[in-house]
Amino acid sequence: MTISRRDFAKRSAYTGAGVALVGSVGVLATAPGALAADRAGETAEGAAGHSRRTLGYGPLVSDPKGLLALPAGFSYRVITRTGVTKLESGELTPSNHDGTAAFAGSRGSTLLVNNHELGGAREKWPHPVPLATGLVYDPAAAGGCTVVEVAGRGGHVAEWVGIAGTSTNCAGGSTPWGTWLTCEETEDKAGKNGMTKDHGYVFEVDPKDRRACRDPRPVKALGRYAHEAVVVDPKRGHLYLTEDASGPNGLFYRWTPPQGFEHGRGRLRTLADEAGALEAFKCFDSGGRFVDDLSRATEPGTVYGVDWVEVPDRDAKSVSVRKQFKDGEVTRARKLEGMWWGDGGVYVVSSFAREESPAQHDGQVWFYNPRRRTLTLKVRFGVNKTPERDGALDGPDNITVSPYGGLVIAEDGNGVQHLFGAVDDGRTYPIARNELNIGSADKPEYSEFTGVTFSPDGCTLFANIQDPGIMLAITGPWRRQGTRD
């Protein structure tokens, strides 16, 4: 049962502003800027004096190949690499790897659907997604998805096009019925940047059925805007979507299916353009006061109540969706990025906030509870003033819920880039560091990590280095994190 704004304010009066209404919020970080990995071999003491298992896997060991630093005992394998590996068609792997999800394939294999974030005119990209026959939405666009099959024991790798002719395929999300929803992070319409069709949509890609991917059609019911990620509530059928945009800042959306609609493979593409209800969120604090921007939350554990406001024109025929709302009608946030369904709700990231927002930070991770209709701040990064220093974390982007507890986060900030874990008692630990310098010795530059996802059996962590475009498989002695001995 959901709660009203009045009920939320009344109940919060008894528990105190910015704390959970029922039970513990399970905060993943206890203070702004306090996210720092424990030193190798160090243990922590719990509230009752019990020691907790040493967090993480130890310090990162530099890679003699200059690609990926990992803890001792871990190893990696390059699965695809732009301009080096080839698709089944003989064409080279496209560039700009981004959002990825893993699915169980046949005979123990893993199928990975990999977005390629390629925007603007096709001719500007050396390695666009090939225009595979029957799989093209707009021949002028460079982006799309490839499907990568990795044999059960990590041997043979095959790659083919899942969808082509889409633009700026950034993140997305997997579905409970085994498909991938790829999101276009653009608002380009036909005639802009050489496009021949409108863009800014969500498309469905089926990794197991190539025929189902033919004649790609946008799911217009989910709106046209700078999409980032999408997750599906497996119980209620809602879809939640993030928007990465500014001027004004983007929105968090919920799509409610029409009455009688049943989810399943290929069902979304059968929807009418205006099917269901697309709404943007509106938050209020424990006193019932409207919250204009999520950056105002500075204390992990802060809880907001959530209302939903209908989008007037979801296809943004003349005005961008986020610009259709006046001040005071919806809540905004900068860089709404990765999402993942877990623990009965949605983990959602705001990567950073600067002058365009009421308060600055270098990242937030929120949790939306659809049953209680509450949004809880789990992690907040203070502004990182030394991004070039190894160990200083900022800019969370793609995330996944780890089968070993907590979250695994791909860093997309300034300076050094990491994959790292975060557990619910405020500790973090490093998993990997990108050592591929795409800058110069004087001015080093390291590309962001993207597409973090575990294999269905939990044995392999897949992740991408976006530039130049490398998919990696990481294996090692994984174990439960954040639990007491």
Q: Give the model confidence (pLDDT) of 377-392 as tens digits.
A: 998 888 888 887 887 7
Concatenated DSSP letters of 207-274: TT-GGGGSS----GGG-SSBEEEEEE-TTT--EEEEE--TTTTB-EEEEEPPTT----TTTGGGS-TT
The whole-number pLDDT of residue 28 equals 42
The whole-number pLDDT of residue 15 equals 33
β-strands 68-71, 239-243: how paired?
unpaired
The one-character DSSP state at 294 is G
Q: Cα(352)–Cα(397) distance, rounded to whole angstroms?
A: 9
Place of tokens 């799911």: 219
Six token digits for residue 224: 């046209």
- Residues 215, 220, 221: CA angle, nearest 5 degrees: 130
Q: Cα(442)–Cα(389) distance, rounded to whole angstroms?
A: 15
199-257: pLDDT as tens digits: 999 999 999 999 999 999 999 999 999 999 999 999 999 999 999 999 999 999 999 99
The whole-number pLDDT of residue 387 equals 82
273-302: pLDDT as tens digits: 999 999 999 999 999 999 999 999 999 999
The whole-number pLDDT of residue 40 equals 33
Query: To the nearest whole percent, how much of the chain has pLDDT over 90?
Result: 81
402-416: pLDDT as tens digits: 999 999 999 998 889
3-58: pLDDT as tens digits: 444 454 444 433 332 222 222 234 343 322 333 333 333 343 444 444 456 899 99
Is 464 a residue whose pLDDT tops 70?
Answer: yes
The one-character DSSP state at 14 is H
Q: Cα(17)–Cα(3) distance, rounded to whole angstroms?
A: 16
Q: Cα(118)–Cα(193) distance, rounded to whole angstroms?
A: 12
Q: Cα(21)–Cα(277) distance, rounded to whole angstroms?
A: 28
Helix, strand, coil percentages for the chain (3-state, nearest 5): 5, 40, 55
For range 407-426, the mean pLDDT: 88
The whole-number pLDDT of residue 52 equals 53
Is 470 a residue whose pLDDT tops 60?
Answer: yes
The whole-number pLDDT of residue 422 equals 87
Asked if residues 344 and 364 have their Cβ atoms less than 8 Å apart, the reply is no
Cβ neighbours of 221 (radius 10 Å): 24
**284 bridge partner residues:** 290, 305
Query: pLDDT tier at 154 (50, 70, 90 boundaries)?
Result: low
Is 308 a residue whose pLDDT tops 60?
Answer: yes
Concatenated DSSP letters of 155-172: --EEEEEEEEEE--EEEE
Six token digits for residue 151: 């044999």
The whole-number pLDDT of residue 278 equals 98
For range 348-371, the mean pLDDT: 94
More confident residue, 156 or 268: 268
- The residues, ordered by sequence, that sit 6+ positions from 457 with a Cβ below 8 Å of its Cβ are none
Query: pLDDT tier at 156 (50, 70, 90 boundaries)?
Result: confident
The whole-number pLDDT of residue 187 equals 97
The whole-number pLDDT of residue 385 equals 84
Classify 6 as helix, strand or coil.
Answer: helix
Classify 103 as helix, strand or coil.
Answer: strand
- Cis ω on the peptide bond leading into residue 468 (within 30° of 0)? yes
Q: Calculate the average pLDDT of the chain.
A: 88
DSSP alpha helices (H): ranges in 254-329?
none
The whole-number pLDDT of residue 404 equals 95
The whole-number pLDDT of residue 45 equals 43
Which of 370, 280, 381, 387 shows the shortest CA–CA distance to 333?
A: 280
> What's the half-sphere exposure (Cβ side, CA atoms, 13 Å) at 452?
25
